[in-house]
Amino acid sequence: MGTRFESVQSVREGLRAENYLADEGIAGVVFLADRLGKPVLVEGPAGTGKTQLAKSVAEMLGARLIRLQCYEGLDESKALYEWNYKKQLLRIQADKSSDSWSDVHDDIFSDEFLLTRPLLEAITAEDPVVLLIDEVDRVEVETEALLLEILSEYQVSIPELGTITAKQIPLVFLTSNNTRELSEALKRRCLFLHVDYPELEREKQIVMTRVPDVTENMADQIARIVRSLRQLDLKKAPSVSETIDWARTLVLLGVQNIDAQQAKETLHVLLKYQTDIAKAAKELSVEASK
């Protein structure tokens, strides 16, 4: 398969066209992931655009996004594949007069009875795909073993069918919110990318890109206020996605210039814990009195 991107700059420009503002580091890792055929492990705080990166890359390439949402208790039948037992049972009952069990066995353990889940679907896809393994840190350590063969060899072993090798090497993104340490074996197979809260100017540009009706002055005020709130000892700092939601809220309310009262009245959009809202409101009152 040929390369997807001509250069790091082409990645930045392509992502910008999809309203994702990538810096040189992000674009560089995406470019290398394509050239080296390696997955990308994207770590960082929740809401900083890790999942959106995979979505935007898929949109940029015109590729199908296949998403595996990880959670505690995720197993092979939900991540990789399972057999359609009901359909198999019906076939066995229909062939109960058959003298040869081996013929029935070979029949029911065929592609017709295989239910593909995200990992196997990405491996067997003939059309261009981007595979997103979202919040991989939520699964148990043992479950990571399901990913290792795929991420190293891009193949899946099914005892009844044998080894299925990828028809193409998909672009793979794994995201992690750092709720637990991932295994060294998993990390070795991936390129690493840390996505943190953006710098002031970049967050301002993100707001202007994602909220077309916001003025440059408002975007600057929003970015500065959010940046100051992130300096507080909050239970959950405002994410970039929450910054965008707040900007949309202020635009809908017709706010032209943010004062302390307007900010405090809409803090519930930006913050998700009452203790954080109270702490932020106090900080805004102090700033307003200076």
| Per-residue pLDDT reduced to its tens digit, 101-137 | 555 656 677 777 888 899 999 988 989 999 999 999 9
Q: Looking at residue 235, what is its pLDDT?
A: 93
Specify the pTM. 0.85
Q: Looking at residue 103, what is its pLDDT?
A: 58
Q: Looking at residue 140, what is its pLDDT?
A: 85
Q: For residue 83, what are the β-bridge partners?
A: 114
CB distance 164 to 30 below 8 Å: no
Q: Domain residues of the chain, as ranges?
A: 8-79+119-194, 81-116, 200-289
In degrees and rounded to multiples of 5, residue 155 shows phi and psi of: -150, 160
Neighbours of 83 (CB within 10 A): 15
CB distance 208 to 168 below 8 Å: no
Weakly modelled stretches of the chain, pLDDT under 70: 1-2, 94-107, 286-290
Q: Looking at residue 147, what is its pLDDT?
A: 85
Going by C-alpha positions, the residue among 42, 118, 38, 129 that lies closest to residue 78 is: 118
CB distance 50 to 117 below 8 Å: no
Select 8-79+119-194's CATH number: 3.40.50.300, 3.65.10.10, 3.90.480.20, 2.60.40.10.
3.40.50.300
Contacts (Cβ under 8 Å, ≥6 apart) of 39: 33, 151, 172, 173, 174, 189, 190, 191
User: What interhelical angle do 50-61 and 8-17 show, nearest 10?
Assistant: 100
Look at the block and give the residue holding tokens 């913050």. Answer: 271
Q: Looking at residue 242, what is its pLDDT?
A: 95
Q: Looking at residue 150, what is its pLDDT?
A: 82
Q: Looking at residue 98, what is its pLDDT?
A: 58
Q: Which amino acid, residue 14?
A: G
Q: How far apart are alpha carbons 1 and 4 in whole angstroms?
A: 9
